[in-house]
Structure formats: C-alpha cells, structure tokens
C-alpha cells in the first residue's frame, strides 16, 4: 500500500481548500485506520474556512462524517478487524477527518455499518445524530459541566425508552440533518405530539421519521406560535431549535414552558434568559454510550440515515457542496462525496 493519499487540505486559517498528497496516518492505541469511501458535508466545514473559528492548528483537513473499510487496527482494539465496514464522527485534529482517502477512527465512537446500508448513507449519521443526542440527553452524562441540561434520560439507557410518552416536543428546523435525528430520538423517547417546522414538501418524509405534525416554516412568527398552540395545550418542556436565526430563537423561547429547556445548535445573543437555554453541550460520554447502543438501534431501523445527494468528482466536489450549504440551497438531504473517486 502507498504511504501517500489525496486530501483536501485547508493550509492556513481562512485559506483556500487545496488538493494535496499527504501521508497516510498510523493508527494509535484504540484507533482504526479506515479507507474512506464516503464523507458527508456539514455547515461547520464552510464556517471554519470562512470565519477561521473552531480550528487552531493548520494545515488541517475537515469533514466530520466518515464511512469506510477498516484497513489496519491499532493496539488494544477489540471488536473490529480489517475489512469491517464502519462509520464514525471525525474531529478537528485533521487526522480523524473525512475529506481525505484514509482517516483514523477512535473505536469508542465507531459503529459497524449494517449490511443493507451503503457507505454514502452511513456517512450521513455521525455528527447529526450526535448533535441531536448531546442536545437532548446531556443530563445523563456524569462528567458534563452542564448541570442545567434537559434532565432527560436517553432512550438507550435504563428506563429511557418511551419514558416521555404523552409529553410534547417541538423542533424548529425538522428537515435539517440534525432535526431529522431529533425527530427519531424524540420518537424513541416517546414524546407526543412531535411538532416540527419545515418546508411542507418534506411532510410525509418527516412523519416517517417521527414527526406527528409539520408546520410550514415560512409562516410569520405569530402564526408559527399559534399553530403550535392549536396542536397542544400541554406545557412545552423541551424545544430543540436547529435554526441559527434570532427570530426563530425568540419564537421558541416564547413557546417554552417556564420550567422548560430550549436547546439551540448555535449560541445566539439574548441579554438575559428568564428560562433555561442551552447551546448543545460538548458531551463525549453521551456519544460513547450512544455508539454502544447504535448497532441495535440500526438493526431495528429505529435510527435511519438522512437522504443522500452524491456530489461527483470525489474530493473535488467538496468546495461546490460547501457553497450550496452556505447559500441555504440544501433542503432535507445530506451532501456526500466519495474520496476514492478523486481524479
Ligand atoms: N453545535 C454543534 O455541535 C452543531 C453540530 C451540527 C450542526 N450544528 C449547526 O446546526 C445547524 C443545522 O445543521 P444541519 O447540518 O442539520 O443543517 P442542514 O441540514 O444543512 O440544514 C438545512 C435545513 O435547514 C432548514 N431551515 C433553514 N431555515 C429554516 C427555518 N427558518 N425554519 C425551519 N427550517 C429551516 C431547511 O429546511 P427546509 O428545506 O425544510 O426549508 C433545510 O432542510 C447549522 O447551523 C449547524 O452549523 C451545530
């Protein structure tokens, strides 16, 4: 095997993505080396490049959603072997990244891909699902500094499955990648009704993932509020806002019960909160516990991947895809590239 691979490198902060030949890394203890067959694109990838945030060390490689085949196994690894089809969430260290032909995976956040799932589909799962889980279930993580999380028990832990039957949940941005996983986890938790905002063309699909009601996200703020209130008069203890806009945040905040918790994907300015608002916490423990449960959840199709739009040209497709994401042209699907097809 060659010691070199093609990678889409971000050479300096706010630099230009450049296709380069770089070394294939060696797996350390508890790691796998994976030949990357599919990598999904996320808003964070263009946000890092444009604003120079989140990543400190350059050159680096981005791409948080990765699926492929195990090429080599590091020391101490159990349960995985060469040839396994796997997916994992990448990181900002450049080594565990999707926009390259070989990536390292940490085994504690790696899952095997079911036989009936493609690499492209599997690559849509990691970041969106983990973000949904971290936002909804952080209170179950012992090491978390977020004492003020949702206080919900995850459906894969203890008596968590179906625990919140009869309680309503609202997700603003239900057709986003993260929103689709919030719907699926909310269904496993038993929430009902599960109310989402999205473009109405996605209604049937989002109902298949767990939404009981979809409200047209184009309605004016007052109508969004009154449509939710028509569906449920129960106190809204949990609202998950995946839309990074102040206007949506305000509606969500108004609808929230005084004792409730609003989860947001990005920190949004609001001078003082009179109710609990949490920015999706970093919570590695909940993600590790999720990955232990994932094989069973995937087997029973309780968690399904996002719908895929494949970008052509291998890693050369990434930059155009990130432009689509930045310009809000991605609707209800996940963009995916196949690094091995890079010319
Ligand atoms: N904190 C974290 O760890 C973390 C992790 C992952 C993502 N994020 C952030 O979470 C956000 C979503 O990420 P993603 O990957 O899920 O995004 P995405 O799939 O690219 O989001 C696109 C979707 O957003 C929906 N949307 C846009 N404006 C909306 C509005 N006003 N109301 C309702 N829906 C709206 C669109 O809905 P329609 O097509 O139905 O119109 C579209 O389906 C991004 O801001 C991202 O940076 C944060």
Which pLDDT does position 142 carry in this prediction?
A: 45
Q: Ramachandran region of residue 191, left (φ > 0), alpha (ψ -120 to 50) or beta?
A: beta
Residues 151-163: tens digit of each pLDDT: 899 999 999 999 9
Secondary structure (3-state) at 185: helix
Atom index in ligand 1 nearest the CA of residue 42 equals 15
For ligand 1, the distance from its centroid to the CA atom of residue 26, given in whole angstroms, is: 34
Ligand 1 centroid distance, CA of 71 (Å):
33
Report the pLDDT value the prediction gives residue 146, as an integer from 0 to 100.
46
128-284 to CATH, choices 3.40.50.261, 2.60.120.560, 3.40.50.300, 3.40.50.720:
3.40.50.720
CATH code of the domain made up of 4-125+305-341: 3.90.180.10
Least confident of 118-127, 228-237, 272-281: 272-281
Q: Tell me the CA–centroid distance for residue 111 and ligand 1, in Å.
A: 24
Task: Check residue 115 and give its pLDDT.
Answer: 97
Tell me what pLDDT residue 143 has: 46
* Beta-bridge partner residues of 276: 261
Give the chain's end-to-end CA distance (angstroms, integer): 18
Per the omega criterion (within 30 degrees of 0), is the bond before 193 cis? yes
pLDDT at 302 over 70: yes
Q: Residue ranges of the alpha helices (H) in the chain? A: 43-51, 119-122, 126-137, 177-189, 203-209, 221-231, 246-255, 284-299, 318-326
pLDDT surpassing 60 at residue 284: yes
Asked whether the predicted pLDDT for residue 221 surpasses 50, the reply is yes
Find the 217 Cα to ligand 1 centroid distance in Å: 12
Per-residue model confidence as pLDDT tens digits over 289-298: 999 999 999 9
- Model confidence at 144: pLDDT above 50: no
Q: What are the structure tokens assigned to 168, written together? A: 């309503």
The protein residue with its alpha carbon nearest to ligand 1, atom 33, reads 173
Q: To 10 degrees, what angle do helices 246-255 and 221-231 make?
A: 30
Of 33, 96, 36, the residue nearest 62 (C-alpha)? 96
Q: Give the residue whose CA is nearest to atom 24 of ligand 1.
A: 176
Domain ranges (residues) in the chain: 4-125+305-341, 128-284
For 19-33, 55-69, 132-146, 262-276, which range has the lowest pLDDT when averaged over its residues? 132-146
Which residues, other chains included, contact 329 with Cβ-Cβ below 8 Å and sequence gap of 6+?
A: none
Quick one: three-class SS letters along 291-337? HHHHHHHHHCCCCCCCCEEECCCHHHHHHHHHHHHHCCCCCCCEEEE
List, chain by chain if needed, residues with CB within 6 Å of any ligand 1 atom. Answer: 42-44, 127-128, 131, 172-173, 175-178, 197-199, 202, 217, 242-245, 248, 265-266, 280, 325, 330-332
Question: Is a pLDDT exceeding 50 seen at residue 141?
Answer: no
Mutate to test the pocket of ligand 1, among 242, 311, 327, 328 (most ligand atoms within 8 A of CB): 242
How far is it, in rounded angstroms, from Cα 277 to Cα 256? Answer: 10
Query: 133 C-alpha to center of ligand 1: Å?
Result: 15
Lowest mean pLDDT, pick from 46-60, 245-259, 327-341: 245-259
For ligand 1, the distance from its centroid to the CA atom of residue 172, given in whole angstroms, is 9
Please report the pLDDT score of residue 272 as a whole number: 60
pLDDT digits (tens, 9 = 90+) for 162-213: 999 999 999 999 999 999 999 999 999 999 999 999 999 999 999 999 999 9
- Average pLDDT rounded to a whole number, residues 137-144: 59
Order of strands, edge to edge, in the sheet holding 256-264? 213-216, 194-198, 169-172, 236-241, 256-264, 276-279
């Amino acid at each position: 095997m060659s010691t070199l691979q093609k990678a889409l490198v971000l050479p300096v902060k706010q630099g230009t993505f450049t296709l380069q030949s770089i070394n294939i890394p060696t797996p350390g203890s508890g790691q796998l080396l994976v030949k990357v067959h599919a990598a999904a694109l996320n808003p964070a990838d263009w946000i890092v490049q444009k604003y120079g945030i989140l990543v400190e060390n350059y050159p680096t490689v981005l791409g948080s959603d990765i699926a492929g085949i195990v090429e080599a196994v590091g020391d101490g690894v159990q349960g995985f072997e060469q040839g396994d089809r796997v997916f994992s969430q990448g990181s900002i260290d450049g080594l565990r990244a999707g926009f390259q032909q070989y990536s390292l995976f940490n085994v504690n956040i790696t899952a095997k891909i079911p036989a009936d799932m493609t690499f492209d589909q599997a690559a849509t799962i990691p970041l969106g699902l983990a973000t949904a889980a971290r936002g909804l279930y952080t209170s179950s993580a012992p090491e978390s500094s977020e004492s003020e999380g949702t206080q919900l028990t995850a459906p894969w832990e203890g008596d968590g499955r179906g625990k919140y039957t009869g309680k309503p949940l609202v997700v603003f941005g239900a057709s986003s990648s993260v929103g689709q996983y919030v719907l699926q986890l909310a269904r496993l938790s038993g929430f009902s009704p599960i109310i989402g905002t999205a473009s109405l063309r996605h209604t049937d699909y989002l109902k298949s993932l767990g939404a009981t009601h979809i409200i047209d996200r184009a309605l004016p703020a007052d109508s969004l509020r009154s449509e939710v209130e028509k569906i449920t008069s129960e106190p809204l203890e949990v609202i998950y806002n995946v839309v990074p806009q102040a206007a949506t945040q305000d509606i969500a905040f108004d609808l929230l019960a005084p004792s409730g918790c609003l989860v947001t994907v990005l920190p949004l300015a609001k001078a003082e909160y009179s109710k609990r608002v949490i920015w999706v916490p970093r919570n590695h423990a909940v993600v590790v516990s999720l990955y232990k449960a994932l094989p069973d959840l995937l087997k029973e199709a309780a968690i399904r991947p996002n719908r895929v739009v494949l970008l052509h040209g291998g890693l050369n497709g990434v930059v155009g895809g990130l432009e689509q994401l930045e310009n809000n042209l991605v609707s209800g699907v996940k963009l995916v590239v196949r690094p091995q097809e890079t010319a």
